Structure 1
Amino acid sequence: MTLRGWRRRAEHLPELMDDPACDPAGLERTYRAFGTINALIAGWRRVYTRDLRPHLRVRGGGSVLDIGCGGGDVARQLARWARRDSLTLHVTAIDTDARAIAHARTGAATGVTYRHASSAALRAQGQRFDVVVSNHVLHHLSAAELAALLDDTEALCTGVAVHGDIERHPLAYAAYRLVTPRLFPGSFIHVDGLRSIRRSYTAAELAAVAPPGWTARRQVPFRTLLTWRAPRD
């Protein structure tokens, strides 16, 4: 692919795991691999210590909503870090894919509840959370879907919101293509990861489409963070 081809998101590329008819064994292996992948590249430890923990410490803990939780590993990790910091934290992890929730519940952890639900449904119920996060969700969304997610986030969040994702970049694609082919056999990690990179937003694109009050920034390596803080009364 030429550099010109990287100027726009490849929104048309389907990911194998999003297919309702995909191989169940391959999907299960993919969910199991997420913990390793996210630990290596997602950077949530840095996000937790820099963006989330200072807010939670003021209250001694609080509530977190993880939107599009996938295999549930990020939700479990946030709960573990909070316990180590003596914070009382409850994480509600949601996904609109029932297969993801079924898998996530096999790795249930203290302080984490998994629900088959959407952000819109929780908003309609009037639920509120101190912190709202998502991991690797934004690249699945069109511009209209992204706008709806951010609108839901503002309605659901009373404190800090962080949506973390991959940043589209040819070097990220080349490195991922080189490293992952043999690491997770029988899973969708290699194919879907490459497609995810091509589908992803850049920080500049997120900044251009995000509503007022949201901040898009980059995080090494090849990450985007879209953040928001609830206005003080």
Structure 2
Amino acid sequence: MMGRFSQRSYEKEIMDDLEFEGPVLDQSLKELRTINKFLGGNKVTTSGLEYIVKKFPQDCYSIADIGCGGGDMIRVMSDWAKKKNHTCKFIGIDANPNTIEFARERLKDLDGVALKTENVFDESFEEDQVDIITCTLFTHHFTDDELIRLFGSFKKKAKLGIIINDLHRHRVAYFSIKLLTKIFSKSPMVQNDGPLSVLRGFSRNDLNKTLSLSGIKNAKIKWFWAFRWQVVGLIL
């Protein structure tokens, strides 16, 4: 990778505005759900869960989805748990209260789901431990220094493991999502944030370095189509 793809961009996305709300937010979250499903991103998270539960079998798992957005991945994981006969309790955490309200409405039919507005950098974040932490298309929103701090918090909060599902910074991914959002998206936020999020994504070296500095050892990093990284870090 050369030029603009050689290093992560720190340019802010529209979604980074925690006051963002209204019909544009609703439309954007719906489109992001469709894009994630279409590009196969859901499997990155569920296969990570499969690995951890096989490694650490127990009767019930508490799973915190950090940066849960509209709750799409919580529903995906809930469907996965039912299909695999696992008992799971989910906690969705997001710093945007408007997004949490959107998720609360969308997930009201599911049992065993709690939703809370919380900033991951608040001291209270580490207080209530869970078995597994998941985050999908979330970590690219932070600088490398912020990620070192964030992963350190994840390590303290999770008892069993951490699953990260995020973007591979690559020119093909960038120009593909730029074209897709231009043709199919009605959301200015998605049209702006989609390509920008790829520029804020990661190389394998980026992930290795940040995980090492965070004290997360022996993490598995695996590439998935379409241009996704899966990171599974075990705590025990």
Taking structure 1 as the reference length, what is the TM-score of the superposition?
Answer: 0.88
1:88-114 CA deviation, whole Å, 9 max, x = no partner? 111101001111111111111222211
Matches of 1:158 and 1:203 in 2, distance apart? 25
Residue 227 of structure 1 and its aligned partner are, at CA, apart by: 2.2
- RMSD over aligned CA atoms reads 2.2
1:106-152 CA deviation, whole Å, 9 max, x = no partner? 11122221111134557556311111110111110011210111111
1:9 match: 8
Matches of 2:8 and 2:52 in 1, distance apart? 34
The answer to whether the 8 A contact 1:101-1:114 is kept is yes
The answer to whether the 8 A contact 2:160-2:234 is kept is yes
Residue 155 of structure 1 and its aligned partner are, at CA, apart by: 0.6
Distance 1:187 1:27, change over 3 A: farther
Matches of 1:96 and 1:80 in 2, distance apart? 25
Give yes or no for the alignment of 1:78 onto 2:83.
no
Give yes or no for the alignment of 1:92 onto 2:91.
yes
Give yes or no for the alignment of 1:55 onto 2:52.
yes
Q: Give matches, 1:8-27, under 5 Å.
A: 8-11=7-10, 13-20=11-18, 22=20, 24-27=22-25
Q: What is the identity, as a one-letter code, of the residue corresponding to 2:160? A: G
Matches of 1:192 and 1:82 in 2, distance apart? 31
Taking structure 2 as the reference length, what is the TM-score of the superposition?
Answer: 0.87
1:227 match: 232
1:67 match: 66
The answer to whether the 8 A contact 1:42-1:223 is kept is no
Question: Which deviates more from structure 2 when the two are superposed, residues 77-86 or residues 121-130?
Answer: 121-130
Higher RCO by CA contacts (8 Å cutoff, separation 6 or greater): 2
The answer to whether the 8 A contact 2:19-2:96 is kept is no
Matches of 2:62 and 2:128 in 1, distance apart? 11
Q: How many residues end up aligned between the 2 structures?
A: 228
Matches of 2:186 and 2:125 in 1, distance apart? 41
Q: What is the identity, as a one-letter code, of the residue corresponding to 1:188? A: M
Give yes or no for the alignment of 1:179 onto 2:180.
yes
Residue 43 of structure 1 and its aligned partner are, at CA, apart by: 2.6
Structure 2 residues without counterparts, runs of 5 or longer: none
Matches of 2:222 and 2:86 in 1, distance apart? 27
The answer to whether the 8 A contact 2:45-2:134 is kept is no
Distance 1:210 1:26, change over 3 A: same
Structure 1 residues without counterparts, runs of 5 or longer: none
Distance 1:111 1:38, change over 3 A: farther
Matches of 2:126 and 2:171 in 1, distance apart? 42
Matches of 1:202 and 1:32 in 2, distance apart? 28
1:180-219 CA deviation, whole Å, 9 max, x = no partner? 2132313521211011011112121111221241343322
Q: Give matches, 1:182-197, under 5 Å.
A: 182-197=183-198
Distance 1:190 1:125, change over 3 A: closer
Residue 21 of structure 1 and its aligned partner are, at CA, apart by: 5.8
Residue 24 of structure 1 and its aligned partner are, at CA, apart by: 2.6
The answer to whether the 8 A contact 2:48-2:230 is kept is no
2:210 match: 209
Question: Which deviates more from structure 2 when the two are superposed, residues 193-202 or residues 121-130?
Answer: 121-130
Distance 1:28 1:209, change over 3 A: same
